[in-house]
Amino acid sequence: MRSMLRQIVLFFSLAILVMFSAANALARGFEITVLGAHGGLEDGNLSAYLLREQGADVGVLLDAGTVMNGIMKADEAHDFDRIALPYDPASSRVGALIHHVIQSYLLSHAHLDHVAGLMAISPDDPGKPIYALPSVLSVMQDHLFNHRVWPNLADRGVKPTLGLFHYHELMPGHSVTLAGTGLSAVAYPLSHGGVESTAFLVRSGSDAMLYLGDTGPDTVEHSHDLEALWKEVAPLIRAHELHGIIIECSYDNSRSDKQLYGHMTPAWLLRELTSLRMTAGVPMKDFPVLVSHIKPSLTAGLPAEARIKAQLDAGNADGFRFIIARQGMNVVF
C-alpha cells in the first residue's frame, strides 16, 4: 500500500516536473513577426522584422522598411489576436498596435528599404529610441531627418531639432538594453558593397537570436566581417543558446558576383553557413534560418522566392531549416 502511495507521489512529482520544464521551455525563445519581407521593388513590403520574447506583447523592430502596412498585414493574419492592448480610446486598433507593440528600432543601415516605414510613420509615432551604429545614425541625421528630405524629428542635426526621436549610438561588441522590451542587443559591423551594415545579436537572458542586415559574402566583399561574426556566435551554437538566424539572400544563383552589390545568392549563403557550422564545430541540422530580403523579380517565370528556396534546398548538405520570410508570417524560434 505504502509503496503504491510512493509510486503515485513519484508519478505526480514527475508529471509536475515535466509540465514545469515544458512551461519553462515555452517561456524561452523568440517570436518574429515579418512586417516587411522584401529587399526592394515592392513598396509596402520592405525589410522589417518585429522581434519579441516568446509570449511577450512588445518588442523591437529590426529594420523599418515598412511599418504601418506591415502591422496591418500582420493583424489581418491574426498575429496580434492574443495581445492585450492598453486602453486607448484616442487610437485606432492599428494605431494602438503601432504605439504599443513596437517599443524601439534597431537599424542595420539607412538604405530606404530599411528605413522608409519609420520615416513615414515618424510624425505620428514619436518617442521611440532608434539604435544603430554611428555611421548609420549620421546618414539618418545628415541625409534623411534633415528638413529637406523629411523634417528633422530627431534630437540632433539640422536645426531646429524637433526631438521626437532619440538616437542611441551603438558601439560594436558592446551590449545595450533595448528600452521597454526585456531584450538586449550587441551590434557587429557587416560589409554591404561599400556601405557599413550591421548584424544584431539579440538576447533574452541566455537565449539569443541573430539578425543580419544586408551583407555580401566575405570573399566578394574582401572582408572578414562574417568570419568574425561566426567566431562570436560559435560558442552560443555549441551551448544551444542561439535559437535561429535571420539572414538575407537577395538574388538567385544566376546573378554574377560583379552584380551582387553587397548581397547574397543561395550558393554564397550556403557557403557562409557551412563556414559558420565549421567554426561552431557541431552539426547544425534543422537549425532555423529565416531567409530575408529577397528582391522580387519583374521578369516572367517562377517568383524569386521559389527559385531561391529550390536552390537553397538543392545545396543544403548541412540540413539547415530554411524558411522564406513572407509578410504577415509569425515564426517562433
Any contact of residue 217 with Zn ion (CB under 5 A)? no
Q: Which is nearer to Zn ion, 111 or 307 (CB)?
A: 111
Spatial CB neighbours of 82, under 8 Å, sequence gap ≥ 6: none
Footprint on residues 177-196 left by Zn ion (CB under 5 A): none
Spatial CB neighbours of 297, under 8 Å, sequence gap ≥ 6: 303, 304
> Among residues 194, 50, 201, 220, which one has the least CA distance to residue 109?
194
**DSSP string for residues in 39-96:** SSS-TT-BSEEEEEETT-S-EEEE--S-SHHHHHHHHHTTTTTT--PPP-TTS-HHHH
Q: Which is nearer to Zn ion, 199 or 234 (CB)?
A: 199
Question: In whole angstroms, what is the distance from residue 84 CA to residue 70 CA?
Answer: 19
Q: Which is nearer to Zn ion, 204 or 250 (CB)?
A: 250
Q: Which is nearer to Zn ion, 100 or 111 (CB)?
A: 111
Specify the stretch interacting with Zn ion by CB under 5 A; choose among 152-160, 211-219, 254-262, 266-274: 211-219
Footprint on residues 39-68 left by Zn ion (CB under 5 A): 39
| Min separation Cβ 147 and Zn ion, Å | 25
Q: Which is nearer to Zn ion, 32 or 56 (CB)?
A: 32
- Number of Cβ within a 10 Å radius of residue 2: 6
Footprint on residues 10-39 left by Zn ion (CB under 5 A): 39
| Min separation Cβ 46 and Zn ion, Å | 8
| Min separation Cβ 58 and Zn ion, Å | 25
Question: Which three-class secondary structure string do you get for 245-297?
Answer: EEEECCCCCCCCHHHCCCCCCHHHHHHHHHHHHHHHCCCCCCCEEEEECECCC
Please work out the total of residues on this chain that contact Zn ion, with binding judged by CB under 5 A: 4
| Min separation Cβ 114 and Zn ion, Å | 5
> Among residues 40, 25, 31, 26, which one has the least CA distance to residue 304?
40
| Min separation Cβ 319 and Zn ion, Å | 28
**What is the residue type of 155?**
D
**First-to-final CA distance of the chain:** 46
Specify the stretch interacting with Zn ion by CB under 5 A; choose among 50-58, 107-115, 151-159, 315-323: 107-115
Any contact of residue 262 with Zn ion (CB under 5 A)? no
Q: Which of 113, 207, 252, 272 binds Zn ion (CB under 5 A)?
A: 113
Any contact of residue 214 with Zn ion (CB under 5 A)? yes
Task: Write the interaction track for Zn ion spanning residues 268-307; mark x where CB under 5 A is met and - where it is not.
Answer: ----------------------------------------
**Residue listed under C-alpha cell 510613420:** 121
Question: In whole angstroms, what is the distance from residue 17 CA to residue 75 CA?
Answer: 36
| Min separation Cβ 85 and Zn ion, Å | 31
Q: Rule CB under 5 A: which residues touch Zn ion?
A: 39, 111, 113, 214
